[in-house]
Amino acid sequence: MTGRTPSTKLAIAVCGAGIGGLASALMHARQGHAVTLFEQFEAPQPVGSGFMLQPTGMAVLETLGLADRIAARGAWVDRIFGRSEPSGAVVLDVSYAALDPEYRGLGIQRSALFDALYEAVKREAVTLRPGMIVKGASRGTLTFADYAPTGPFDLIVDALGSESALSDRHPARALPYGALWATLDWPKGGPFSPHALEQRYYRASKMVGVLPVGSATAAAPEKATFFWSLPHGGLDDWRARPLDAWKDEVRALWPDTAILLDGIDSHDALAWATYRHRTLSRPYGDGIVHIGDSYHATSPQLGQGANMALLDAFALAHAVATEGRAEIGASFAQLRQGHVRLFQTMSRLFTPVYQSDSRALPVLRDRITGPISLHWPAPPILAALVTGMLGRPLSRLGLDAYRAGKTNPVARS
Ligand SMILES: Cc1cc2nc3c(=O)[nH]c(=O)nc-3n(C[C@H](O)[C@H](O)[C@H](O)COP(=O)(O)OP(=O)(O)OC[C@H]3O[C@@H](n4cnc5c(N)ncnc54)[C@H](O)[C@@H]3O)c2cc1C
């Protein structure tokens, strides 16, 4: 890091009140900059399924003083487990402890993370501008669908997600497969491990997954996020099919899911997520920096997107704190590029192994790579991949991984 003289007070526009945008707005406000947060929804809200925070994302949340509150709302996950059916072959069994006995993932409802970040943002002197659809940016000024241009800003943070209007010169490519998902009551004492993300596959064309995601508020019941993989082209057919015929298909793949399927009473109980892939080779331009999915969208097979958005926000805040205005973008890129490229490549390689029409890849997975992955030295390498620690992204940022086992007795069970 070059350490040129940082500007004392910048006018910063953060576009998008998702995970990356909220974290970024919070950090810059606490640095004393004048932050305006633009969001398309009239009332900012969490959109999307429950997901996993890793020791990387939790490390960033710890710097914000939010990790313990968020941990209390989630479910500690120490294992990711997948079987191929009908053979029953174990093709994925990653234990966090293979890397470090105190590492855990945290299954969490998106609303729990969103609420913690949004409430913290509201306590800071951030100017909130909801209901504003960003259309473009030029020389520090933002343009909107229904409002006059606003600016100039010293820095624009593009945190608009995978369909960002500000990185549309490199549109994200929709992947062939996406997923249906639902948040359902966690079956207490039921067939699922409360500390594992479990999946079942048929070839790579069918996949069902169950993730414990804790309770969104202290009084709310514990929940599971349920996933069903589906090709884009199959969505209309799925909607046209009787729901019971689809439930029969899911039960045939993983009979234990019957107890969850009972909680799904219409097609509308499931939401559709399109997966997209894009990696910007240069995540910054004149007065603008792209973070989160607008920089690097991908399928959630490796479960890193939200964590990477948090790491991006932290890296950008670091660059703002240490660099002069003209060097912020390049400094941010230097801090994040290696890790982002590594995981985007891994995600591109791994996604078709679990979500594609390929016949050869799942055979290779079930007969060769799956069995090999269960033996040393694969377990710690795979654990480094799922924790997001591969490539040592934290040491570049001066952060330590969040160690759940140290502070939380549940996480030690
Ligand atoms: C089914 C599924 C499962 C996932 N599982 C995981 C997981 O286990 N672990 C993990 O780390 N990640 C996971 N992800 C990925 C993760 O959700 C994303 O990487 C993360 O949300 C990206 O954050 P972001 O802030 O970049 O974008 P987003 O969270 O998408 O936020 C973008 C924000 O910008 C706003 N916006 C968009 N366009 C405009 C506009 N033109 N004007 C104004 N506002 C706008 C949106 O309303 C939104 O508030 C999963 C994703 C999916 C779909």
How confident is the model over 203-223, as pLDDT tens digits? Answer: 999 999 999 999 999 999 999
With residue 76 as reference, give the H or E element that holds it. strand 75-77
Residues with CB under 6 A from ligand 1: 15-21, 38-41, 48-49, 51-52, 133-134, 159-161, 165, 179, 181, 273, 292-293, 300, 303-307, 309
> What pLDDT, in 10s, does the model give residues 38-92?
999 999 889 899 999 999 999 999 999 999 999 999 999 999 999 999 999 999 9
Structure tokens at 259: 């107890």
pLDDT-derived band at 406, boundaries 50, 70, 90:
low
Which amino acid does the sequence have at 278? R
* DSSP-assigned letters across all residues of 212-238: EEE-SSTTSPPEEEEEEEEEGGGHHHH
Instruction: Give the position, in ligand 1's atom list, of the atom nearest the Cα of 293.
Output: 26
**In what helix (H) or strand (E) does residue 244 lie, and over which residues does it extend?**
helix 243-253
- 407 pLDDT higher than 60: no
Distances (CA, A) of 272 to 79, 235, 263, 269: 26, 8, 17, 10
Q: What is the pLDDT of residue 168?
A: 74
For residue 170, how far is its CA from the centre of ligand 1 (angstroms)?
Answer: 17
CATH code given to domain 11-76+108-173+276-352+390-408 = 3.50.50.60
Q: How far apart are alpha carbons 117 and 105 in whole angstroms? A: 19
Report pLDDT digits (tens) over 78-135.
Answer: 999 999 999 999 999 999 999 999 999 999 999 999 999 999 999 999 999 999 999 9
The answer, yes or no, to whether residue 410 has pLDDT greater than 70, is no
Q: Which of ligand 1's atoms lies nearest the C-alpha of 179?
A: 1
Write down the domain spans for the chain. Answer: 11-76+108-173+276-352+390-408
Indicate if the pLDDT at residue 307 is higher than 50: yes
Task: Give kind and range of the element (H or E) at residue 37.
Answer: strand 34-38
Ligand 1 center from residue 17 Cα (angstroms): 9
The per-residue pLDDT for range 164-208, each reduced to its tens digit, is: 999 978 889 999 999 999 999 999 999 999 999 999 999 999 999
| Protein residue whose Cα sits closest to atom 19 of ligand 1 | 305
- Ligand 1 atom closest to Cα of 144? 42
Task: Look at 225-234, 305-314, 397-406 and tell me which has the smallest mean pLDDT.
Answer: 397-406
Give the position, in ligand 1's atom list, of the atom nearest the Cα of 57: 11
Partnered with residue 276 across adjacent β-strands are 174
Determine the pLDDT at residue 4. 55
Nearest CA to ligand 1 atom 47: 40
Rounded-to-integer distance, Cα 402 and Cα 20, Å: 19
Question: Which protein residue's CA is at the shortest distance from atom 50 of ligand 1?
Answer: 300
3-state secondary structure of 11: strand
260-288 mean pLDDT: 97
**How many whole angstroms from 18 Cα to the centroid of ligand 1?**
6
